[in-house]
Amino acid sequence: MELKKNPKANVGRNSSLYFAVGLNVMLLLTYLGLEHKTYETEATEIDILMLDEQFDEEIPITTIDLPPPPPPKQVVTEAITIVEDVDDVEETVIESTEIGQDDVIEERVVSVEEVEVEEVEEDIEVPFAVIERIPQFPGCKGTNDELKICFQKEMNKHLQKHFKYPEAASELNIQGRVFVFFLINKNGVVTNIKSRGPDRLLEKEAERIISLLPKMKPGKQRNKAVGVPYSIPINFKLKQQ
């Protein structure tokens, strides 16, 4: 015959329940421990100011002496007396200078003296390509075609001789082509120099070079000295290092 254990004597039958209850109690205690706050208490002394008596300070009264106001100004009234006219006054009659239909115009003979008419010579400009006789560089001779070839050679020599790259433009790496326009007037002098280019530094240098051109023999059209406009490009280019 087998022995049977008493079910009431089974110790581990409610172990899971006890474990859950214990776990919850531990979690609650841990939460309360973490959330518990403590404060430092300091002894604070509170002083109470009691005023038994209130002292009233007497402020002295300051008296300001003001000067008396100025007396009112006296108003001077002028007496107007009426005097009767005794002398007769002659009235001035102003006659009209306008001419009416009934007025007769006096015929007068006006003598006209001889008037000298001064002829004003106009400054005539003839383009370089069509002028009969182009301006002559000093030392150039020959026909008009030979003078053109000599003019171009002397112009190139002048540019190479006086060309100087602006230092500021070189530092800023400014380069490009500048077109210079000028006029060789009827006296052979270079005037009205203008330029157009990528930068004002290059334009100033180009104008300086052209301003150094020598005086030439003026161009002629029908054996009369005339002004000749001319333009030339000057190329400013930096050498690649």
Domain chopping of the chain, boundaries: 144-236
Token output for 6: 């008493």
CA dist 76 and 81 (Å) reads 16
Mean pLDDT of 33-52: 61
Residue 9 three-state SS: helix
Q: What is the arithmetic mean of pLDDT over 106-126?
A: 65
The phi-psi region of residue 173 (left if phi > 0; otherwise alpha if psi is between -120 and 50; otherwise beta) is: left
Q: What is the mean pLDDT of residues 202-227?
A: 92
Cross-strand bridge partners of residue 240: none
Q: Is the pLDDT of residue 124 over 80?
A: yes
Residue 128, Cβ neighbours under 10 Å: how many? Answer: 15
Mean pLDDT of 61-86: 62
Backbone φ, ψ for residue 150 (5° rounding): -65, -35
Q: What's the CA gap between 131 and 145, in Å, rounded?
A: 11
**Among 17-21, 83-87, 155-159, 234-238, the least confident range:** 83-87
Position 215 pLDDT exceeds 70: yes
In which region does residue 18 sit, left (phi positive, over 0), alpha (psi from -120 to 50) or beta (all else)? alpha
pLDDT confidence of residue 120: 55
Q: Give, as one character, the DSSP assignment of residue 59.
A: P
Res. 102 pLDDT band, cuts 50 70 90: low
> H/E element holding 236?
strand 228-236
* Residues contacting residue 189 through CB under 8 Å, at least 6 positions apart: 215
Q: Which range has highest mean pLDDT (71-85, 106-120, 213-227)?
A: 213-227
pLDDT tens sequence across 171-195: 899 999 999 999 999 999 999 999 9
- Token pair of 56, please? 């009233």
pTM of the predicted model as reported, rounded to 2 decimal places: 0.49
The tokens for 16 are 């899971």
224 against 14, higher pLDDT = 224
Residue keyed to tokens 């400013």: 236
In the chain, % of residues over pLDDT 70: 61
Amino acid 182: pLDDT: 95
The whole-number pLDDT of residue 158 equals 93
Record the tokens describing residue 85, joined without a space.
């006219």
pLDDT score recorded for residue 193: 94
Nearest CA among 173, 202, 200, 191 for reference residue 229: 191
Name the class of domain 144-236.
alpha beta
DSSP three-state, residue 219: strand
Q: How far is CA 5 from the centre of its chain?
A: 112
* Of the candidates 173, 182, 180, the residue with the CA atom closest to the CA atom of residue 196: 180
Q: Which of 95, 105, 124, 132 is nearest to 223 (CA)?
A: 132
Nearest 10 degrees: Cα torsion 13, 19, 20, 26: 160
Residue 64 has pLDDT above 80, yes or no: no
- Asked if pLDDT for residue 41 goes beyond 70, the answer is no
CA 75 to chain centre: 61
Whether the per-residue pLDDT at 48 is higher than 80: the answer is no
Helices (H), the chain: 15-35, 144-162, 167-171, 200-211
